[in-house]
Amino acid sequence: MALGLGCTAKPGKAKENKTGSWRTFRPEFLHEKCTKCGLCSQVCPEGCIAEDGEGQPVPDYDYCKGCGLCAEECPSQAIEMKKEEK
């Protein structure tokens, strides 16, 4: 690939890089414990936790690296980290 002077890339093209394969531990969201506060979505360094129509968090496992910040910070202990089975 030639690197010209001043190279450019299309906005958000990083999305093609699916970082979910990095994961060792997988966050499991316990919907019955969730208070829908939205903190997990805010703290996720990937920004890959969305909300469904009812305000429940929906992680995108294609990108989640399994860092565990969401589980650590969840005030309701509604996220559990489970060993990934591949």
> Where do contacts with other proteins occur on this chain (CB under 8 A)?
1, 3, 7, 9-19, 22, 41-50, 58, 60-63, 65-69, 71-73, 81
24, two tokens: 């060792």
| Choice between 30 and 52, CB closer to other proteins | 52
Q: Considering beta carbons, is residue 18 or 33 the nearer one to other proteins? A: 18
Q: Is 73 left (phi over 0), alpha (psi -120 to 50) or beta?
A: alpha
**Residue among 7 and 86 whose Cβ is closer to other proteins:** 7
Contact 70, 58 (CB under 8 A): no
